[in-house]
Structure 1
Amino acid sequence: MTRDRFTSRSMAAVRFVAQRGLLKPLVWSLVSVDVVGRDRIAALDAPFIVIANHSSHLDAPLVLGALPRRHARYLAAGAAADYFFDVAWRKWLTTLFFNAFAVERNSEGKRSGASRSLLERKVPLLLFPEGGRSRHGEMGRFKPGAAALSIASGAPCVPVALVGASAAMPRGVNWPKRGRMPVSVVIGEPMIAREGESTEDFSRRLAAEVRDLHESVLPMPVRQHAKEGRT
């Protein structure tokens, strides 16, 4: 197999230093992080697709720092082409810290071939199916691209709920709030499409699972309020 920055062992070693030696200690010093469910992916091997709700610039660093090293080592994060790849310095940093590849937010499927190619080379992916950060922290509709990619490639999806990231560093803020606000990273069981399940139905089921994981760590009154808000 031809090795490039996504599969290179030497690049993975550089990323390890950047992610675990610089990024994770910084983020963990700014917010109080609780990780739930690492045991649920103990037997998981690449390729796989991590899917998570998206409300903060903390989200990708939290996922990368929370996953066990063997799952995060080659993980490639989908990053918005119109923001993270439009300026040379931002592209370089995004590539270094997140092993990022460009995804189009406004023309779904345009770069899906790159995602499929990475999975075929056993490179796991991190995708945010909402397509962008939510404005008020509430989870939006999942676009079906991640579900379609899973069905086409056979790679399972790993649902992850990020709880409290929006409160700690909401959209429009460039630095987390003071006081090390609590944030939870809740990792779910790997999921694959059921026999005959459509892309849209699988996508809705993935979204529902992320919501359930999100609510599983909320205090009971907050959890009940969230459920009532969806009925």
Structure 2
Amino acid sequence: MDSGADSMDQPWARTLPARVAREAIICGVFGPLMDIYTRRAVVGHEHLETLDQPVIFVANHASHMDTPALLRALPTRWRRRTTVAAAADYFYVKRHLANAVSLAFCTVPLERQGGTLHEGPPAHLTRLLDERWSVVVFAEGTRSRDGSVGRLRAGSAVMAMAYGVPIVPVYVGGTHEAMPTGRSWPTRAPGGLLGHRRPATIAFGAPITPAPGEGPREVMERVRLFLAASGGDTTPDPRIAAGRERAARAASAAGNDSADDGSGPVADQRQPA
């Protein structure tokens, strides 16, 4: 599917010279800089060991630190062929900003308005998947204002189902405290002469493959459950929660009917003479 974001893509950012420069930027500049302010822990690499590219990394989003933190946490072979979907209306309006984020983070433009992913992968993302590039998608579509996980949009699940690739859920924690929305530079936690480094966690989950008959919302609910289990403050999808409540009521009613008509296990018991 063609979209306006296709023309904004910067293919040069995926060439070998750009990839070499990006490795130096992420590991040689952003990495040491983030270590001044955060004490990171990375878990879940074992889930990537048996996977082949491409996959869709679906993460929560609470800070501008999320992208460099996530990319740095990836094993090298993954980082070198992973792109990051970035808001076209924010990062690609000005050429110098588009060039900067494309080089530093290997971003690709994604339109936030109009439900682009719900209609299938845009043409430039399809080309990337064809070329075995993985894609990072921040499923909330924007940064959290309070650190909690917002509503997860189902577009990344639609893309995974349309292309037949797994989703790897990623929880990024601690970045909101270090650099919340509205701040342009990270901070250390109060205490001592210079403060303390804030804890930051990047957790990769087991791959999620959509099951037959499973819809995008159900797939994203599985992503949400991983984020919640990893420490994220999440809210269940109201539609999914309502469906589960209806199913529970139906099961309860069926059980009561079974007991009332004598077909339950108690009715089969014989009373002693």
Runs (4+) of structure 1 exceeding 2 A deviation are: 4-11, 110-114
Superposition pairs of residues 40-79 of structure 1, within 5 angstroms = 40-79=47-86
Distance 2:122 2:227 in 1: 23
Shift of 1:106: 2.0
- The more displaced of 206-215 and 53-62 is 206-215
Identity rate of aligned residues, in percent?
A: 31
Shift of 1:6: 5.5
What is aligned with 1:195?
212
Superposition pairs of residues 23-38 of structure 1, within 5 angstroms = 23-38=30-45
Superposition pairs of residues 152-231 of structure 1, within 5 angstroms = 152-178=162-188, 179-214=196-231
- The more displaced of 46-55 and 33-42 is 33-42
Shift of 1:109: 0.7
Q: Are 1:87 and 2:97 counterparts?
A: no
Q: Are 1:17 and 2:34 counterparts?
A: no
Distance 2:18 2:71 in 1: 16
Distance 1:69 1:148 in 2: 28
> Unmatched 5+ residue regions in structure 2?
1-10, 189-195, 242-273
Distance 2:12 2:95 in 1: 17
Structure exhibiting the larger radius of gyration computed from Cα positions: 2
Q: Are 1:151 and 2:149 counterparts?
A: no
1:120–1:153 Cα contact (<8 Å) kept: no
State how many pairs are aligned: 217
- The more displaced of 123-132 and 160-169 is 160-169
Query: What TM-score results when the alignment is normalised by the length of structure 2?
Result: 0.74
Paired amino acid for 1:67? L
Distance 1:22 1:130 in 2: 28
What is aligned with 2:142?
132
> Unmatched 5+ residue regions in structure 1?
216-225
2:37–2:178 Cα contact (<8 Å) kept: no
Distance 2:70 2:17 in 1: 22
1:127-153 Cα distance to aligned partner (Å, 9 max, x none)? 101000011111011111100010111
